[in-house]
Structure 1
Amino acid sequence: MKKSEKVADILNILQKLYPKPPIPLNHKDPYTLLIAVLLSAQCTDARVNTFTPALFELADNPFDMMHKDVDDIKAIIRPCGLSPRKSKAISELSRILVEKHQGQVPCDFDALEELPGVGHKTASVVMSQAFEVPAFAVDTHIHRLAYRWGLSTGKSVEQTEKDLKRLFPKETWIALHLQIIYFGREFCPARGHDPQACPICSIYGRKGIKKS
């Protein structure tokens, strides 16, 4: 079976299950999305959603956030882990947004990745979900599923991103990122995975080889 046929099968399954996948992080604009995505590093989206209301009550824009004490930010975001580093990054990136970007989140990969605490994955999420610019944010979960389904070698997150961008049409990237995340949570977890109950793994076995 050609890989292109498998890709079409997987895309069809994901689009039927999650035709309009919602953004899992609660936010109201590009700035609050940026902060939520930054906080989601090594923390679940559901957990982030439990304390961002308190954080955004403290400040929901860079003009106000840059003036808040870092310790006050840290106290609120402590449940997500890495709070000392993340609280400092939130304070510093807010100041940079005000001083260099008129308080606006830039719609530019390079400018985003220059911000403290913002890597390529975070920038990709913001570009795609806030500005609808085609990007394919690959986290450890998408990286794992791409390898499990035989879509990538699994050697690095960077390689997985290149492989998925090559395999899937550009116009599908924004939704597909979310579709794979939701699918992994519901059917294809890292632990306790039942291949026979998985709509994709029940068709494609280990390393994405189609079962006869």
Structure 2
Amino acid sequence: MIHIAIDGPAGSGKSTVAKILSRKLNISYIDTGAMYRAVTLKLKDFDPKDFNRILSETSIDFIGQDIFLDGKNVSSEIRSEEISRLTSDFSKIDFIREKLVDLQRKIAEKKSCVMEGRDITTVVLPHAKYKFFLSAAPEVRAKRRYDQLLEKNMLADYNKILEDLKKRDENDMNRKNSPLKVGDDVTFIDSSDLNGEETADLIISKIGEGHV
């Protein structure tokens, strides 16, 4: 089996690149960020004291590249700006991370996959042979998110997106549990001047050349 682990901040192109790698290498794509977004969508309107019980009764599954929450396709719903803002806070909750990390590891045990998120190379799949950290300038990442929302005919404010993205970076890098960081044995890639196809091809070339 082959496991490719990819970490990086919001808007770095992780999802796009992982999908392309999945297609080119014919392996499964696991969007862990979507899993945290789905949990956020489920829990955001409930009292925190009920989170543990509700989460124990929640199912998350992937069919193709779509994510299903309790049997409902929520692939579009979890991409709203509200969910983007809230997900970082929910992901700090220990029992949420523990449940999803366990699920992610179990998925990887069963099949070859490319898995992306914020703690895949350091926590979820630290022993994966191929590990990458993607990043790009904040302004580039905010513009990518802005364009994505416009393509989906969703309201978007570039300055607000940039502000939220910087706050999320700060939260993700400084959280106590599984902070976003570049591991010592991880290959760093700046995708500021690369599109998804170019970044995926660069990763494939590094795998083929044995640079990781």
Q: TM-score range by the shorter chain?
A: under 0.3
Higher relative contact order (Cα pairs below 8 Å, separated by 6+ residues): 2
Higher-Rg member (1/2): 1
- Tell me which protein shows more strand as a share of its residues: 2
TM-score norm. by structure 1 comes to 0.25
